[in-house]
Chains A and B, each alone.
Chain A
Amino acid sequence: MTEKYEAVIGLEVHVELKTNTKAFCGCGLSFGALPNSHVCPGCLGMPGAIPVLNRELVEFAIKTGLALNCKIAEFCRFDRKNYFYPDLPANYQISQLDLPIASAGYLEIESEGVKKKIGINRVHMEEDAGKLVHQGSIMTTPYSLVDLNRAGTPLLEIVSEPDIRSPREASMYMEKLRSILLFLRVSDCKMEEGSLRCDANVSVRPRGQERLGTRTEIKNLNSFRSLERALEYEIKRHIELLEEGGELVQETRTWDEDRQVTLSMRSKEEAQDYRYFPDPNLPPVIIDPEWVERVRKTLPELPDQARERLMSEYNLSSYDANLLTMSKDVLDFFDACVAEYNEPKLIANWVMGELTRLLNQNNMEIKDCRVTPSSLAAMLKLMEQGTISGKIAKVVFEEMFNTGDAPEKIVKDRGLVQISDESAIKAIVDEVIAANPKVVEDFKAGKEKALGFLVGQVMKASKGKANPEIVNRLLREELSRP
């Protein structure tokens, strides 16, 4: 049945920018700070306070627009979006309606080896609202508390064209957008903390039909996973309804994470009239093309370029290159490590393997991690020199991760130096052979597997420190004696 239909998806992404100060006042940004501790007359909407545009916000917007191949407007304007809500101090949000800062761009995703451009309709600047804190559910709470720390935090709204055709493409678009924003260092892009938010517009139509079907908008998508799941659910719902001969209602729906369903929030008729008009407090923003060119020159390497570089310079697979370029911090770590120890493939394996495993396990970011590119390089050198085995390296690495100590120190303190002294290993080999006559017999009878067991026993007796190559060789020598 899904073969008969095609989904048409467009995404509206809100990203919180990590500028030094809020969009229209001098307050610093905060996440998790004491409620109402990062506020001033401006972001509290006090009488007589006037917004003043943060230049850094414009610069971040230009950067993002350029990275998304947009045209940067030479003239743009701020408008007021009027609606009443207790977390919106002035009861209007400063946003951009018909003259956004950037428009007509695209980003590229790669689906099963095929590259596809997803159009960017527009990028505009706006301010965030505060937060309401309820006691329990919003429906039953006896009161609501207002925290305005977040009010006035600068946001970019990035609106895609309806070029996305599947839930998978939608999450690839989001992943690519996220990595671009991370490379630009304009946002932390943490979906779980709300610094990256996404609403999806979706409709379906019979394949071959040009006219778009009735669309619904899905809100409350707090992870890539819920984005995909919600779209899958909603597309299925649309198709089923159409197959039953039913009619879709243009409406806004919310994703219920617990029940894994979308629920109706409000219909088009109930949509608010925001009474947009130009904000008289903020003069139009005139953007000198020279400024745009200056910003263009400072653009960092972007994920696509970095990916190409990793594949062509280091011969990494497309899969490895993709993973390493998901975040700028990860790529920087990788590059710094390669600069000290030119074994890109090995480093890639460690970064994507042990390091990622430990970060996930501890719910940490690479930038908060105690292992540095230099210390990883140093550890890998110890491995190369044979000072530690690959197995011991994992132990050393975990210790580095937990303590931040240098690998040399850990190896020394914990006596983890690999034993390469043949006579010492020979003594253990002899002991193991003597203690396992049955296994020895099996091996001699042609059971090759038995050797593995004996190697394991030797390693165990040496607490993992015996050089595995020497153990293997000595065992074979001893066992081949008549």
Chain B
Amino acid sequence: MELYQYTVQEIGEMLARREVTASEVLAASAERIGRVESRIHAFITLTLEEAEKTAKELDARDEIGGLAGIPCGIKDNLCTRGVRTTCASEMLEDFVPPYDATAVKKLKAAGAVMVGKLNMDEFAMGSSTENSGFFPTHNPWDLTRVPGGSSGGAAAAVAAGEVFYALASDTGGSIRQPASFCGVVGMKPTYGRVSRFGLVAFASSLDQVGPITRTVTDCALVMNAICGHDHLDSTSLKVPVPDYTKDLQEGIKGLKIGFPREYFQEGVDRGVRDTIMKALLKFEELGAVVEETSLPHSEYALPTYYIIAPSEASSNLARFDGVRYGYRDGNARDTVEMFSSTRARGFGPEVIRRVMLGTYALSSGYYDAYYLKALKVRRLIKEDFDRAFERYDILASPTTTSTAFRIGEKAQDPLTMYMSDMLTIPVNLAGIPSISIPGGFIDNLPVGLQLMGPPLSEATLLKAAYAFEQATDYHLRTPVLEV
């Protein structure tokens, strides 16, 4: 077994026991990147030189532990001090933030070694990473397929062994859907569990930072490092952070799991449904009580999301105007022309589409019919979950409607592309935590199992996910990338 194949937990223990040095681990990652990156295209920017320095410093320490010395990647919409943060957009192609996102800062404080910034759909808008303003990322399981999105670079890099884990963001499924497509673990924490400071905003009421890892234990380890209140984000929760690894092995005897029938209906591939149904049987075997339930407003989640997210985005992305940083059309003759041509040239088509959608939805005369109505439906969706969690500890479903689709397959059809997020979006609207773990395979392509829980139930989700993982071997399968 090569070094890059170990988990965060294992490498961490090896580093702590001084069986390997941080520099050796980094070299293994760098070598792996050298071998596969030309086929995956996960990274927008590599920071191996900086990483070497960090690794050397860590090796010089008397003690090393936790995440210290373990190479990771950061989605390119999380600000990294001194390292360009592009959001995969020409608009920010040369933007170098003078500050770290809080989650990044916490990882650095824990000794994380950042090897680079990861590809994504431009400004996190998309489900395939084909909307990257630079290049698409390829799925390690099948290079002709998408890795999902928007955190496609992050999921692909973790699956391909280029990094041990990645930090990403999830607004409507952007962590879980690519985790599902790439056969890795991705968690979207409770809204407010992780600070959003330094995460370039897409839809502020939905955005949340979370980890992508190869195992559930690794996910818990990264969660331990990134969660907590931040005075720079007043929507971050003032709730103590538990040790998420503590109860992992407790087992799930008696755990009540509901599966919402709306998540197993038409629109979800038969194979995916069957795979997840089989996964539910596994939970029963493990002692959980599994029952069908209903989230009746599920069908409204997608349209609701496509009002709220673009509305917020239209305002959040207004700051990219060429005045202070980023791309500017220098040939414009006056201010208004500078604004419009900078934005017309700097943004890609999907970003422009969503900004226009949002601008329209917020316009005078349409606000009540669209935005306000969407807020009301959002509440109904949240109440569906509240009611379900009165009876069930967690809910289980497929993460996605299908396995990874082919590059180009949906790129020309935004609506079909939007539909591929219908199972992950409700969680963001409700602000609840959710995790996607490998739940099976169809034709050697991973299928994601999504677990959802009430606010701040991350420990329960991780415990259930761990029990399933330990009872299956899906997480042990790796894509074959050797030529």
Digitize A427-444: 1 where CB-to-B-CB distance is under 8 Å, 0 elsewhere. Answer: 000000000000000000
B363 touches A275 (CB 8 A): yes
A86 contact from B79, B323, B325, B362, Cβ within 8 A: B323
A281 contact from B101, B234, B320, B323, Cβ within 8 A: B234
Stretch at the interface among B32-40, B192-200, B279-287, B473-481: B192-200
A275 touches B234 (CB 8 A): no
Given A52-B234, A280-B205, 10 more contacts at CB 8 Å?
Answer: A46-B325, A47-B92, A48-B78, A48-B196, A48-B198, A50-B201, A50-B233, A275-B364, A280-B203, A281-B234
Nearest-Cβ distance from residue A452 to partner chain B, whole angstroms: 70
Q: A84-B318, A91-B318, A280-B205 are in contact. Are A273 and B323 (CB under 8 A)?
A: no
Q: Find chain B residues with CB under 8 A from A275 CB.
A: 314-315, 359, 362-364, 367
Kindly identify, within residues 387 to 429 of chain B, every residue whose CB is under 8 Å from any CB belonging to chain A: none
Complex A-B, nearest 7 residue pairs according to Cβ-Cβ distance, in ascending order = A91-B318, A280-B205, A275-B362, A280-B204, A48-B198, A47-B200, A45-B319
A326 at the interface (CB under 8 A from B): no
Q: In the bound complex, what is the Cα–Cα distance between A413 and B232 (angstroms)? A: 60
Digitize A264-306: 1 where CB-to-B-CB distance is under 8 Å, 0 elsewhere. Answer: 0000000001011100111100000000000000000000000
Which range contains the number of A residues in contact with the other chain?
A: 20 to 34
Q: In the bound complex, what is the Cα–Cα distance between A46 and B92 (angstroms)? A: 11
B95 at the interface (CB under 8 A from A): yes
A144 at the interface (CB under 8 A from B): yes
A333 at the interface (CB under 8 A from B): no
B234 touches A84 (CB 8 A): no
B325 touches A277 (CB 8 A): no
Q: Which residue of A lies closest to B101 (CB)?
A: A48
**A-side interface residues toward B, CB under 8 Å?**
41, 44-53, 80, 82, 84, 86, 89-92, 144, 146, 273, 275-277, 280-283
A277 touches B234 (CB 8 A): no
B232 touches A50 (CB 8 A): yes
Q: Find chain A residues with CB under 8 A from B335 CB.
A: 86, 144
Q: Which residue of A lies closest to B85 (CB)?
A: A47
B61 at the interface (CB under 8 A from A): no
Q: How many A-B residue pairs have CB under 8 A?
A: 103
Kindly identify, within residues 347 to 404 of chain B, every residue whose CB is under 8 Å from any CB belonging to chain A: 359, 362-364, 367, 371
A50 contact from B234, B314, B319, B336, Cβ within 8 A: B234
Q: 21 interchain pairs (CB within 8 A)?
A: A41-B97, A41-B98, A47-B319, A48-B78, A48-B79, A48-B85, A48-B198, A48-B199, A48-B200, A49-B197, A52-B232, A53-B234, A84-B318, A84-B336, A90-B318, A91-B318, A92-B315, A275-B315, A275-B363, A277-B315, A283-B235
Residue with the greatest number of chain A CB neighbours at <10 A, chosen from B101, B198, B203, B320: B198
Which range contains the number of B residues in contact with the other chain?
A: 35 or more
B85 touches A277 (CB 8 A): no
Q: In the bound complex, what is the Cα–Cα distance between A222 and B363 (angstroms)? A: 33
**B-side interface residues toward A, CB under 8 Å?**
78-79, 85, 87, 92, 95, 97-99, 101, 196-201, 203-205, 231-235, 311-312, 314-315, 318-321, 323-325, 335-336, 339, 359, 362-364, 367, 371
Q: Which residue of B lies closest to A83 (CB)?
A: B318
Q: A41-B99, A90-B318, A281-B204 are in contact. Are A50 and B363 (CB under 8 A)?
A: no
Nearest-Cβ distance from residue A270 to partner chain B, whole angstroms: 14
B315 touches A84 (CB 8 A): no
A84 contact from B99, B203, B312, B339, Cβ within 8 A: B339
Q: In the bound complex, what is the Cα–Cα distance between A362 and B92 (angstroms)? A: 51
A50 touches B367 (CB 8 A): no
A80 touches B315 (CB 8 A): yes
Nearest-Cβ distance from residue A20 to partner chain B, whole angstroms: 16
B321 contact from A46, A52, A91, Cβ within 8 A: A91
Q: In the bound complex, what is the Cα–Cα distance between A56 and B343 (angstroms)? A: 37
Q: Find chain A residues with CB under 8 A from B205 CB.
A: 280
Nearest-Cβ distance from residue A368 to partner chain B, whole angstroms: 36
Q: Find chain A residues with CB under 8 A from B367 CB.
A: 275-277
Q: Find chain A residues with CB under 8 A from B325 CB.
A: 46-47
Nearest-Cβ distance from residue A301 to partner chain B, whole angstroms: 35
B197 touches A50 (CB 8 A): yes
B311 touches A91 (CB 8 A): no
Q: In the bound complex, what is the Cα–Cα distance between A455 and B15 (angstroms)? A: 103
B97 contact from A47, A53, A277, Cβ within 8 A: A47
Nearest-Cβ distance from residue B159 to partner chain A, whole angstroms: 27
B321 touches A84 (CB 8 A): yes
B324 touches A89 (CB 8 A): yes
Q: In the bound complex, what is the Cα–Cα distance between A41 and B232 (angstroms)? A: 11
B95 touches A277 (CB 8 A): no
Residue with the greatest number of chain A CB neighbours at <10 A, chosen from B311, B319, B367: B319
Q: In the bound complex, what is the Cα–Cα distance between A48 and B87 (angstroms)? A: 11
Q: Find chain B residues with CB under 8 A from A41 CB.
A: 97-99
B321 touches A277 (CB 8 A): no
Q: In the bound complex, what is the Cα–Cα distance between A308 and B87 (angstroms)? A: 63
Q: Which residue of A lies closest to B321 (CB)?
A: A91
Q: Find chain A residues with CB under 8 A from B336 CB.
A: 84
Q: Which residue of B lies closest to A85 (CB)?
A: B335
A46 touches B311 (CB 8 A): no
Nearest-Cβ distance from residue B175 to partner chain A, whole angstroms: 17
Q: Which residue of A lies closest to B326 (CB)?
A: A47
B201 touches A48 (CB 8 A): yes
Q: Which residue of A lies closest to B100 (CB)?
A: A48
Q: Find chain B residues with CB under 8 A from A91 CB.
A: 318-319, 321
A48 touches B312 (CB 8 A): no
Q: Which residue of A lies closest to B199 (CB)?
A: A48
Q: Which residue of A lies closest to B207 (CB)?
A: A280
Q: Which residue of B lies closest to A92 (CB)?
A: B315
Nearest-Cβ distance from residue A424 to partner chain B, whole angstroms: 75
Q: In the bound complex, what is the Cα–Cα distance between A273 and B367 (angstroms)? A: 11
Q: In the bound complex, what is the Cα–Cα distance between A277 and B97 (angstroms)? A: 28
Q: In the bound complex, what is the Cα–Cα distance between A277 and B361 (angstroms)? A: 11
Q: Find chain A residues with CB under 8 A from B321 CB.
A: 84, 86, 91
Nearest-Cβ distance from residue B46 to partner chain A, whole angstroms: 21
A47 touches B87 (CB 8 A): yes
B362 touches A277 (CB 8 A): yes
A46 contact from B97, B196, B314, B359, Cβ within 8 A: B97
Q: In the bound complex, what is the Cα–Cα distance between A31 and B321 (angstroms)? A: 26
Q: In the bound complex, what is the Cα–Cα distance between A41 and B196 (angstroms)? A: 14
Nearest-Cβ distance from residue A408 to partner chain B, whole angstroms: 54
Q: In the bound complex, what is the Cα–Cα distance between A52 and B229 (angstroms)? A: 13
Q: In the bound complex, what is the Cα–Cα distance between A84 and B235 (angstroms)? A: 26
Q: A84-B318, A146-B324 are in contact. Are A48 and B97 (CB under 8 A)?
A: yes
Q: In the bound complex, what is the Cα–Cα distance between A89 and B97 (angstroms)? A: 16
Nearest-Cβ distance from residue B193 to partner chain A, whole angstroms: 15
Q: Which residue of A lies closest to B365 (CB)?
A: A273
Q: In the bound complex, what is the Cα–Cα distance between A275 and B372 (angstroms)? A: 12
A50 touches B311 (CB 8 A): no
Q: In the bound complex, what is the Cα–Cα distance between A97 and B137 (angstroms)? A: 43
Nearest-Cβ distance from residue A94 to partner chain B, whole angstroms: 11
Q: A48-B199, A82-B362 are in contact. Are A282 and B319 (CB under 8 A)?
A: no
Q: In the bound complex, what is the Cα–Cα distance between A91 and B99 (angstroms)? A: 21
